[in-house]
Structure formats: C-alpha cells, structure tokens
Amino acid sequence: MSIETNEIYNAKDIEYEAQSYWLLEKTFLADENNSGEKFYSLCMFPYPSGNIHMGHVRNYSIGDAIIRYKKMCGKNIFQPMGWDAFGLPAENAAIKNKTHPASWTYTNINNMRKQLKQMGYGYDWSREISTCSPDYYKWEQWLFLRLYERGLAYKKKSIVNWDPVDETVLANEQVINGRGWRSDALVEKREISQWFLKITDYAEELLDGLDHLEEWPVQVKAMQKNWIGKSVGAQIKFKIKDTEEIVEVFTSRPDTIFGCSFIALASDHIFVRKLAEQRSNIKLFTDKCRQMSTAESDLATLIKKGIHTGFTAINPLNGEEIPIWIANYILSDYGTGAIMGVPAHDERDHEFASLYNLPIKQVIKSIDEQNTNIENLFIGKGVLINSGQFNGLSSEEAINKIIQQLNKKGAATLETKYRLRDWGVSRQRYWGAPIPIIYCADCGTVPVPEDDLPVVLPEQFEFTDKSNVLKNIPEFYHVNCPSCGKNAVRETDTFDTFVESSWYYARFTCADQQNMMLDKRTNYWAPVDLYIGGIEHAILHLLYARFIHKVMRDEGLLTSNEPFTRLFTQGMVLKDGTKMSKSKGNVVNPQDYIDKYGADTLRLFIMFSAPPDQRLEWSDAGVDGSYKFINKLWNTVHRYTNSNLTKQFHSNKAITIEQTSLRRKLHETLEKVTDVMETRLSFNTAIAAVMELMNTYNKFVINSQEDKTVAQEVLDCIVIMLSPIIPHVTHVLWRILGHDNALITEKWPKVDELAIIQDTVTIAVQINGKLRAQHLICIDASEQMVKDELFSLREVQKYITGKNINRIIIVPNKLVNIVTN
C-alpha cells in the first residue's frame, strides 16, 4: 500500500521515503557552481562516543531547520558533518572493553552516522571528516611545520598539572578542587618539556576582532575578552636590600605605590626557587603551594597563606623599606610573578595584610565623599593622599606622572599584559595526531620533511594500558634523522584534540583535496555563516579556532579574518532538572524515540519544548504531544484531500469574512515564522503559531470553490512552514496536497501584506431589541472580543448595570442584541 492512501500516519515508511528522495536527488550535496548566495551552516561536530545523545539531537535539529529554510529561500547551502575522533575516552574505553582505540572509534562512528541519517539531517556526507584519518591530520602536521618555521610553534619546559591516573597534562580548567576532572585523582605539579603554539602573538587581534563579531552572543564575547585579559600597567623595579638582586612587579595601579607595604612573590619565582634550595621552611611552603590548583577563579576564594623571606625591598619612589613575602595567591605565570602589596586598595592584599598584621595605609580617596573607606579598603580610582608630591592628583594623572618619574630613574616601564597564555598542544597520549618532529643526537630538533607527511599513527598493534605506547612501537619510534641519516627518534607526544577542531570547518569545504590543506573552495564557503553549539565551548574551542583561522589567513590559505560570522549557543537538555549523565542514570536515548515515534516527533519535541538557547526539560508526555500533533496534521490534510474534491461548488464571487480572516491569520503566521527563521531562531514560538493557525483552520468550513482555494493555500503554507522542523512527514503531505515538485525544491512563500491589513466594520448594538449604539470593531473579532469591547461602552453600561443578562445574540459583523430581564 502506498503511503498516500494510507489513512494512518506511519512514520517509518514516510521517513524512509523522504530520506531516499534526498539521497537520490543529491539534495544536500554542496555545489560551488550554484547561482544562489552561499550559506554555510555548521553544528559543532560530535565526539564519537557511541551513540548520539539528546544534546546532539537538539544542536543538529536547529542547524537542519535553518539549512532547509535557507535552501527554500534560494540560498546555495552547505551543511557538512564529521567526527572529532581523537581523544582520551577512546583509550579508556579500549582498556575497559579490551579493544583498540581505533576500532572502538570506527565502530562508534559507523553507528552514529547511521543514527544521524535516521534523523534525516541534510548533510553533505561526501565531505565527511574523521579527524583520526591520516588524510585529515596530515594537513594539521603540515600547518604545524609552517608555524614551527615562523617561530609560532616552540618547545619549552613548563610546570603542568599532572594527572597521575590518566597520565596526562591537564589544563587549569580541568583541575577541580585539586583533582583531575575525569579521574578524580589528586593532581600533581610536574615540570616537563612541551610544545606550544604562540597564540599570544595574536592576543591583540583576537581581542579587537570581538568588536566586529556583531552576531555573536554578548556573553560569549565577554568571556573571551576576560580570557584574553588585557591589562595596561607598569613594571616597577624594587631593589632587594643588601643584595645585587631586583624584584620586578607588574601593577595596573602605579598610583597606589605609596600605599605599598609588602612585596609578594609567587612560589615559582626565581628568587624564591633560589631561597628554597637553602631554606627548608621555604621549600616546605612552596611545595605545598605547588599542590594547589592554579586556576585563577580559585585564587579569589583561596585561603591566603604566606611566609616571610626575611628580605627587604626598597620602594624606588620614596625609598621606604618593605618586607618581601612569598604568597600562595600570586600567579607564577602572570605579569612578573611578583606584586607590590597595597592592602588599602586591593582586596586580596587586604586579606593577606590583615592576616599577617602588615600595615594598611590609605593613599587613594574617593572623589565621591559618600563612598569612603569601608574597613580600610577602597578599590577603585580617586584622588591621591599620603603620597608626597603627588597628593591631590587624580589616579589617572598620577599613574602617568609616577611612571614618568620612575622611568627616568630606569625603575619602570609601561607594559601591556595579557592573561592569555600560549597554547600547550602536547599530550602524552597515544590516540592523537603525532607531532611531526624528530630528535637527533647530532642535529637536535628536526622537523619531519613535508614529503614524509603524514606521520601516521600506528593502529596495528595490541593495545594495552601501558603508558608511553608510541615509545614501545619501534617501527614508529625509531627513524633515521632526515638531516644526517643517523639513528634518531620521533616525538611521541600527540596533539591536543582542540588542534583538530580548530580548523575542521575550513577543511569541510574541500575535504577531498589531496594536494593541499585548503583550496579555492574554502574562500567560496568560508566563513561559516551560522555556527551552532554548546556554551561550554565559549572560550577555548572558539578562541583556538579564531586563532588558527588567522594563522591560516597569514599563511595565505584563506582570506577571511574570522571563522564564524554568527554564533548560536543552544541550551542543555535536562532530565528531572539535572544534566543527563550515565552516573545519575537519567539518560534518555534518542534511538528509543526514533524507533517508537520516528525522527519527526523527536525533532518536533526538541524544537517546540523550549526556546533553543534555554534549558529544555525532557518530558515523555511532551514527546507524546508532539506525536499527536503530527497525527493531527496528517489527518487534517487527509480530511481536506479526501473531501469530495470533484464536487462542483457553486462559485461565490464575493470574498467572505471567514476567508479574509483565515487568510489574515495565515499571513500573520507566515510573517512571524519567517522572522523567527531569519533572525530570532525562537523555533518554539514559530511552531506554536503554526499550531494556532491549524486550530483556526480546523474551524473553517469549505462551502465554495473560493473556500477551497483558501484552504489549499493555508494547508500548503502550514506544510511549508513546518518542513524545516519535521521534514519527512511534510515531504509526503506536500505530494498528497497535489504538488508535483518535491517540497524541498519549493520556494519559501512571501507574506501577502494586503491580507494582513486589519479591516473594520460598524455593528449595531441593541439592548432588548432597541438600537442603543453603533460601534466600530475588527472584522474578524472573536465573540469574546466583541463582548468585552461592547460591555465597556458607556451607552451599553447605562442600560445593563444592575440587570441580569439573559442572552446575547450575535450576527457576525452586523449586529449584537443584548437581552436583559
């Protein structure tokens, strides 16, 4: 039996048919020769964990709705999909399940691809990327070598957070309460040699560029700005009394220098390191500091601890002698790793000084007299006091004058600092892209020659939980030095997986290109017009991608300045108010719903149940409601097409009020839905509007040929408007409505402005049969609206107050008769 004649909505058959059509017709294959204006929509690609989860469904349903809408508007669309396939979980899973990270990953990819296809997303699968494929990471290695040549990739020793269980380096954000975010192991500090990319060279451009990203959420831009953390200030030299040594501090507030009552050094400061070698109490203290989290967010709330060094520093401006301390709240990798402590004007210094009884001396007074010292602490700028010749100056003036004066003595320089650190890309893990470097005893660090790329990650060996996997694969580890030919060894660190995800959007545009990293297709498609993903990537992923984009631009690989024109961050999917997680056992699996209801129901529920940028609470009842709605739509269309269409209605040339009002509703809805698709992306409100329109339609009775024409227009439009959200059932209904073309090739309809104009009509108001008033109302006002409006009229009030209303007779758009006792 064909789908059309089947009265019952059968999601499985319908979805199979629609998907087969799109596949056969190559509907979503990218085409650089299409005349339409290009539109590149991208959702953050998934980590192939095994199954798609509801977060993916939400993310990808939004992207797909947009791309389908844009296609119907005549845009030349591109929507690719791929796999962020390297990373630690594959190794952990392989150890647990006694398999290989590679086969675990490939199996998962196959399964998830199947699931995404079942969801009916319009991807160009011909440009699929797996980041673990040598075809892909070859170009990453190639770009790394370009960066190495330009001095933008370098190796240095650094102290890292070391997770002893996962045996890997952790970023500060991955250390939670001193423990590894994944392993929960106590994190140690270790000094190891690692590769870095010089993102700090781009700090200023990354910051400036934010101002031009007009279509990014403001909070994401604020987070990036904070992360880059530009600070303009001075570096000031303090002599250490009775030594030849100097401590340099970085301060954004040179105007407070007369209030400086101590110097505080980070536990890793060179002077401290020297002291620690001689003094066991200092060593003990700094060892303790090292075990603590260095995440800056934790520093504010940290319980301050310090130890006096016994040394004294000399204030270069007034010669005052102040003690030098070591303190746990000083970051070793910001500024100079040393500060001048000004307890009267800095909160942390205040806390520290109070704890150790160090002097608190006010040197800034608020301009606003109301706002004076609260417990000896005034943060903010004002007017200088207790500051010798600088008294009476404003903070701004004093900052300039003080820097000038110190500068003359060679004791200060103007400095701009960024909180942003260079990007450590080394990972001591197997399942990642090899860093293309060789170490030779004679030649030192030798880049792998371009012709020898890719350095392929070996996959054919028995994977066990031993660390240093790559060092134990001789065919990989041992190589001849490309420069002298002698025995040498390969770098065994692999890239941070953020490296792969920082340029995949560009590679999609030419995924099959074997001879270069990017080709001219990149400049056609890039930048991505709409990028959709979770807010958790607001900082690192998006910043790294912006950085690598600029690097690729400077390499001449592409011409745009930014990778993503518009950014949309979707909200999380929750169950019982919390994030779905295996450990809580509250995960709902999309596959169960695809099997039970079909993809359209799942898509409708996820798009309808909440504004897309807000949290969405999972609800089985809600899913059921979505299924019912699709059935109702199915039945509504069938009721129309099955009604006796061959019957010749008599033609009633005059346009009826019912027709006008239904068409008005239709075009108001179309206007709203179009606006949602173009700008706000609040799909839930668009769907609600279409549902309302359908309710209105269902009250409409077809009596004439003209009625039928209006009904057809309304149903056509309902089907079109819902098609980006529920593309399968609408694909079939479109044909059932009598169209020869496929729905996805149909043009998005234009709003009929004339239909929206509100008409009014004068109605007669009678009370007990006597004409009491004439009143102007909207032509299609509902009964309730008419009643509300008339009862508020003074002429009417006069006759009905204190009486019981027995009956109200309404002749639409003509007359209302109110019958009282």
When CB distances to ligand ANZ are compared, the closest residue is 231
> Of the candidates 334, 593, 597, 748, which one interacts with ligand ANZ according to CB under 6 A?
334
Considering only 329-337, 351-359, 486-494, 743-751, which stretch makes contact with ligand ANZ by CB under 6 A?
Answer: 329-337
CB nearer to ligand ANZ: give 345 or 772: 345
**Nearest to 527, CA basis, from 563, 493, 492:** 563
**Nearest to 492, CA basis, from 440, 445, 423, 438:** 438
Strand runs (DSSP E) across 57-108, as ranges? 76-78, 82-83
Q: Which does 342 bind (CB under 5 to 8 A by kind): Zn ion, ligand ANZ, none?
A: ligand ANZ
CB nearer to Zn ion: give 126 or 445: 445
Distance between CA 396 and CA 417 in Å, rounded?
19
Cα–Cα distances in angstroms (integers) from residue 574 to residues 176, 340, 525, 616, in the given order: 23, 47, 35, 6
The gap between the terminal CA atoms of the chain, to the nearest Å, is 62
Query: Kind and range of the H or E element at 601?
Result: helix 599-608
> Of the candidates 60, 250, 423, 504, which one interacts with ligand ANZ according to CB under 6 A?
250
Question: Cβ 407 to ligand ANZ, closest distance in Å?
Answer: 17
For Zn ion, the binding residues in 378-407 under the rule CB under 5 A are none
Binding status of residue 481 toward Zn ion by CB under 5 A = yes
Distance between CA 560 and CA 566 in Å, rounded?
14
> Of the candidates 253, 549, 550, 731, which one interacts with ligand ANZ according to CB under 6 A?
253
Considering only 70-78, 341-349, 440-448, 739-747, which stretch makes contact with Zn ion by CB under 5 A?
Answer: 440-448
Q: Which does 442 bind (CB under 5 to 8 A by kind): ligand ANZ, Zn ion, none?
A: Zn ion
Distance between CA 376 and CA 361 in Å, rounded?
8
> Of the candidates 442, 452, 678, 788, which one interacts with Zn ion according to CB under 5 A?
442
Distance between CA 77 and CA 41 in Å, rounded?
8
User: 574-608: string of b/e by CB count within 10 Å (b at 16+)?
Assistant: bbeeeebeeeeeeebebeebbeebbbbbbbbbbbb
Binding status of residue 355 toward Zn ion by CB under 5 A = no
Binding status of residue 342 toward Zn ion by CB under 5 A = no
Binding status of residue 346 toward ligand ANZ by CB under 6 A = yes
H-type alpha helices, 255-388: 270-278, 280-291, 296-301, 347-356
Considering only 59-67, 333-341, 722-730, 793-801, which stretch makes contact with ligand ANZ by CB under 6 A?
Answer: 333-341
Report DSSP state, residue 679. I
For Zn ion, the binding residues in 297-336 under the rule CB under 5 A are none
**Is 772 strand, coil or helix?**
strand
Report DSSP state, residue 535. G
Compute how many residues bind Zn ion; rule: CB under 5 A. 6
CB nearer to ligand ANZ: give 231 or 386: 231
Q: Which amino acid is at 165?
A: V
Binding status of residue 455 toward ligand ANZ by CB under 6 A = no
Distance between CA 141 and CA 470 in Å, rounded?
17
Considering only 162-170, 308-316, 326-334, 401-409, which stretch makes contact with ligand ANZ by CB under 6 A?
Answer: 326-334
Binding status of residue 352 toward ligand ANZ by CB under 6 A = no
> Of the candidates 147, 206, 307, 339, which one interacts with ligand ANZ according to CB under 6 A?
339
Binding status of residue 448 toward Zn ion by CB under 5 A = no
On whether the CB atoms of residues 799 and 811 are closer than 8 A, the answer is no
Binding status of residue 340 toward ligand ANZ by CB under 6 A = yes
CB nearer to Zn ion: give 440 or 469: 440
Binding status of residue 176 toward Zn ion by CB under 5 A = no
Q: Is 575 annotated as a binding residue?
A: no
Binding status of residue 484 toward Zn ion by CB under 5 A = yes
Residues shown for the chain? 821
Strand partners, 570: 534
H-type alpha helices, 119-256: 134-149, 203-210, 218-228
CB nearer to Zn ion: give 436 or 598: 436
On whether the CB atoms of residues 455 and 490 are closer than 8 A, the answer is yes
> Of the candidates 89, 306, 337, 432, which one interacts with ligand ANZ according to CB under 6 A?
337
Binding status of residue 386 toward ligand ANZ by CB under 6 A = no
Token couple for 815? 């007359």
Residue entry with tokens 């070698």: 277
Binding status of residue 440 toward Zn ion by CB under 5 A = yes
Distance between CA 40 and CA 127 in Å, rounded?
13
CB nearer to ligand ANZ: give 109 or 339: 339
Distance between CA 780 and CA 589 in Å, rounded?
46
> Of the candidates 46, 80, 122, 335, which one interacts with ligand ANZ according to CB under 6 A?
335
Question: Cβ 229 to ligand ANZ, closest distance in Å?
Answer: 7
Annotated binding site for ATP: 582
The site for ligand ANZ (CB under 6 A) is made up of: 231, 250-253, 256, 266, 330-331, 334-335, 337, 339-340, 342, 345-346
The residues binding Zn ion (CB under 5 A) are 440, 442-443, 481, 483-484
